[in-house]
């Protein structure tokens, strides 16, 4: 996948190096060309000097071929504008923006832009939103037979009840993360855009569960 990162500070440079190490192609955009020194001599991706929400700058960074975009500059407004341009103008599917003011995070989430507030930022969280596939184990019991994991959920499940998700996938939803807060769902809770789903499941059923979550609900049966 080609990934564009706006901001070459400590977060942006760490993301760029990690993603390139995983085999992705990466372009980093920053208005200060001296910031690219953080990438090191081994970084082989693109270094683009410019404003991260300028469309010509983004095209130079390969946004039209990108599968993901991360806005991790030092400015909340710049990050959210760039993220919206990437999503709305160029149709990038996986977009994430770092937000310093957590009070703004809920507003931006409602605009359809997943945000990561600086106070709870980790590289793993940002990577999870850029590459939302499969399951990310969070806890295993001592025997290794049962685990708690965040499972990537197809957009097709949005608007359906948790009870239907559980019935068709055979897992138990432990909790949801919605707008940065954990909630304990009931069987009547409806999955919303941007929800992160955390489930308890048998370790030997990971592949089956991942496939069911990625596929979406089956046609037969009611919601």
pLDDT tens digits for 144-172?
A: 788 888 888 888 999 999 999 999 988 89
pLDDT, position 189: 94
pLDDT value at residue 119: 46
Question: What is the pLDDT, as a whole number, of residue 166?
Answer: 92
Q: Which residue ranges in the chain fall short of pLDDT 70?
A: 102-112, 117-129, 131-138, 142, 180, 220-223
Q: Would you state the pLDDT for residue 54? A: 95
| pLDDT score recorded for residue 196 | 85
Strand partners, 177: 182, 196
Whether 1 contacts 68, CB under 8 Å: yes
Strand partners, 182: 177
Q: Nearest-5° angle of CA 158, CA 4, CA 35? A: 135
Neighbours of 64 (CB within 10 A): 12
Q: What is the pLDDT of residue 223?
A: 45
- Among candidate residues 159, 193, 192, 198, the one with its CA nearest the CA of residue 176: 198
């Amino acid at each position: 996948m080609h990934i564009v990162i706006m901001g070459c500070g400590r977060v942006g440079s760490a993301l760029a190096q990690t993603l390139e190490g995983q085999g992705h192609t990466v372009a980093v955009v920053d208005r200060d060309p001296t910031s690219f020194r953080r990438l090191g001599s081994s970084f082989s991706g693109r270094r683009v000097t410019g404003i991260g929400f300028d469309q010509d700058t983004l095209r130079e960074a390969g946004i039209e071929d990108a599968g993901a975009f991360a806005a991790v500059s030092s400015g909340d407004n710049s990050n959210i504008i760039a993220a919206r341009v990437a999503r709305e103008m160029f149709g990038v599917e996986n977009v994430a923006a770092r937000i310093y003011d957590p009070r703004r995070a809920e507003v931006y989430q409602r605009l359809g832009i997943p945000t990561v507030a600086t106070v709870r930022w980790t590289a793993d969280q940002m990577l999870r939103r850029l590459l939302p596939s499969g399951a990310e184990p969070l806890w295993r019991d001592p025997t290794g037979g049962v685990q708690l994991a965040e499972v990537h959920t197809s957009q097709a499940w949005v608007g359906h009840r948790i009870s239907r998700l559980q019935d068709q996938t055979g897992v138990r939803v432990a909790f949801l993360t919605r707008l940065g807060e954990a909630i304990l769902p009931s069987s009547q809770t409806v999955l919303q855009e941007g929800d992160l789903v955390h489930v308890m499941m048998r370790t030997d059923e990971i592949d089956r569960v991942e496939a069911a979550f990625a596929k979406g609900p089956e046609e037969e049966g009611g919601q």
